[in-house]
Amino acid sequence: MNKKVLIVYATAGIGHKKAAMAVKEAYDEMKLPGTEVTLIDALDYTNDFFKWSYLQAYLLMVNKLPTLWGLLYYLTDIPFIDLFVSVVRRISNWANSKRLVNYILDTKPDVIISTHFFASEVIADLKHKSLMLSRLVTIVTDYRLHAWWVCEGTDAYIVASDDTRRDLEGRKVDPAKIKVMGIPIEPVFSKPLDKPKIFKETGLRDDLFTILVVGGGFGMGPIEGIVRVIAEIPRELQTVVVCGHNEELAQKIQSLKDEYKLNMKVLGFIDNVYEYMDISDTLISKSGGITVSESLAKEIPLVVISPILGQETGNSAFLVRNNAAVKVKRLDDLKAALEGLISDPVKLDKMKEAIKRIEKPNAAYDVAKFAYEYDK
């Protein structure tokens, strides 16, 4: 059976790209016979200004205007408002996606796996207009749904949880189209690692409580404030801070490390965060869909702080409701939350048990196999 699979994402935040790359890695590892897999960024097939503004507008909103972003997120999720906004959005998408449309019509993939609603909407419209026969599989990369993900013409939705499934059913999506498989993450997150070797290679001690702080690919969140709070904890521990591509943040954290004389490892962008998750006792981070799924796969209790209003607050609510995370609303409350975890190993163990009930570490493989076996 020969099958052409197109995996398409949009670089609007790192998560959508990472989910797409995870499925591609699963295909590469599984080596399914007769499968031709291509991975593209949908925004590469738009004009330069649209591509630049798509990402920059998102970063501006979530970093500088988070309240406005949250307001727009919730307003556009209201059905009658979405009905109006979607018309404007689709006109904009069509005006800027002609190269993407031509590429898809020319290559004629059998199955398209999309990890971003921009690509899903463009492709679903092509199917709705009977311009193509490709199957469209949309991966919802958060633990709750937003109206942007729902597109007539989508053949299957891959979702992270039963909550997301119920959200889709509430929007009149055929239950047969909904597959609860999880959010794809790099296959390496599902593999056991050699912890003593990691401790040795990273120079970290295996007898200290270890806190991992992650600001995502762009080093977002109140990282400086988190480090200052950790400095106030009257107990010997060690901390790893991952600043992503934010070099300015990394310099500030290094200065704080020196100022407070902290047992701390300051890192920029790394491609082995899974190793640090494997040896850490807790993770402090925002609650993006990919970060949440990675932490669940590594069974590391999460302390969520300053989630982005909208998608991340939905993710954190899911975790807290399932006893897999602690949510901290203010930096002032972080110290007590951390001290509570450090002094109560039983609570940490209960959180890990809760995580085991909701984790789906093999989502990348499951999605790849599902798309491979999906007949026209």
pLDDT of residue 55: 85
DSSP 187: G
Every domain of the chain with CATH number 3.40.50.2000 lies at: 3-185+361-373, 188-358
Structural tokens at position 226: 């988190």
What CATH number is given for 188-358 in this structure?
3.40.50.2000
pLDDT in tens, 293-344: 999 999 999 999 888 889 999 999 999 999 999 999 889 899 999 999 999 9
Distance CA 350, CA 362 (A): 22
Write the burial class of residue 141 (CB in 10 Å: 0-12 exposed, 13-18 middle, 19+ buried).
buried
The CATH label, of 3.40.50.620, 3.40.50.2000, 3.40.50.150, 3.40.50.1260, for the domain at 3-185+361-373 is: 3.40.50.2000
Residues of the chain short of pLDDT 70, as ranges, are 1, 217-219, 375-376
pLDDT in tens, 117-147: 999 999 999 998 889 999 999 999 999 999 9
Neighbours of 329 (CB within 10 A): 11
Distance CA 118, CA 115 (A): 9
Distance CA 338, CA 335 (A): 5
User: Would you give the distance in Å from CA 234 to the centre of its chain?
Assistant: 33
pLDDT of residue 376: 47
DSSP 308: P
Predicted structure pTM score: 0.92
Residue with tokens 């609303």: 329
